């Protein structure tokens, strides 16, 4: 068996096109242009690349992009004051504070100072609670993108056995909640899970989000399973820098029914879902 490749890049382009159509409609019918404010503290190279990419795509779908770049030694009080200003700005419908923040800033405090209705990352404690209880919420972008790809591939996920490897607040836990919401039987596995290979082998759906390069080998994958690889790890191989996922792609692709590549799988969907969340926030407002 050779796995079908789930093309996140192509799917994300479709989602962005749909968002652009809805943005144009919102402008024509209501005179509203959705606005996304991105706050970047410091000069983390990876964060700078993400912020540039987000800004470019925000403008491409017809939204307003507001970028706030702050010095690495910005005080907590100044950052909270900026967020407070964005919370009350009617032109801003979505607020995203790029993580990780410098060590002297309290991430939880900063995230929970964002208006939950503008929290397009879905990290505010109110949105976490709403998602966990199956109510209408802002859903974290990466798990939402994964769910959309799974629904697109399978149609119904009802009754499927899903294993999420990783228990982070950003991916693992919300991913499990979304799969439960689609009537999967869900196991959250992690570094302390006993007999991890056997746990993964019984899954119809495997979502790997541990941040360890190629940790999941092909022989952990059940024949015909769908593998969603959230990991983006930079490694050196044969003297060259290479991006790899949390799954060993070559061996997993021989057993899986479908698999996301790295790069070109989950990554593009994350930004597409951020734009979709911003549109949702503007419509709700």
Cβ burial of 123 (10 Å; 0-12, 13-18, 19+) is buried
- Is-catalytic flag, 44? no
Cα 135 from Cα 174, distance rounded (Å): 13
Residue 220 DSSP symbol: G
- List the structure tokens of 256: 């899986």
State the catalytic residue, choosing from 115, 118, 119, 121: 121
CB 208 within 8 A of CB 228: yes
Q: How far apart are the first and last CA of the chain?
A: 48
- Is-catalytic flag, 161? no
Cα 137 from Cα 157, distance rounded (Å): 21
Give the residue ranges of DSSP H helices in the chain. Answer: 8-30, 45-60, 76-87, 107-111, 125-132, 141-154, 172-181, 196-201, 249-253, 266-284
- Is-catalytic flag, 18? no
Cα 256 from Cα 219, distance rounded (Å): 10
Beta bridge partners of residue 259, listed in sequence order: 5, 227
Catalytic residues: 54, 98, 121
């Amino acid at each position: 068996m050779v796995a079908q490749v789930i093309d996140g890049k192509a799917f994300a382009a479709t989602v962005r096109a749909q968002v652009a159509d809805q943005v144009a409609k919102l402008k024509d019918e209501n005179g509203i242009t959705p606005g996304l404010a991105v706050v970047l503290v410091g000069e983390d190279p990876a964060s700078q690349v993400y912020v540039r990419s987000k800004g470019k795509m925000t403008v491409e779908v017809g939204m307003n992009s507001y970028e706030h770049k702050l010095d690495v030694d910005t005080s907590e009080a100044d950052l909270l004051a900026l967020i407070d200003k964005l919370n009350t700005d009617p032109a801003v419908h979505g607020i995203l504070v790029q993580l990780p923040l410098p060590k002297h800033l309290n991430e939880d405090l900063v995230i929970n100072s964002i208006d939950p209705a503008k929290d397009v990352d879905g990290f505010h404690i109110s949105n976490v609670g709403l998602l966990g209880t199956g109510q209408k919420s802002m859903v974290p972008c990466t798990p939402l993108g994964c769910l959309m790809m799974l629904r697109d591939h399978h149609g119904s996920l009802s009754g499927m056995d899903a294993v999420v490897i990783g228990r982070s607040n950003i991916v693992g836990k919300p991913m499990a909640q979304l799969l439960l919401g689609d009537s999967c039987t869900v196991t959250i596995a992690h570094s302390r899970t006993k007999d991890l290979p056997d746990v993964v082998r019984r899954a119809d759906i495997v979502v790997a989000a541990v941040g360890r390069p190629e940790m999941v080998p092909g022989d952990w994958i059940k024949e015909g399973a769908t593998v969603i690889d959230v990991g983006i790890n930079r490694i050196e191989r044969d003297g060259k820098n290479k991006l790899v996922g949390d799954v060993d792609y070559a061996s997993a692709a021989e057993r899986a029914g479908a698999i996301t590549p790295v790069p070109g799988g989950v990554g593009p969907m994350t930004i597409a879902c951020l734009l979709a969340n911003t549109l949702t926030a503007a419509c709700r407002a």
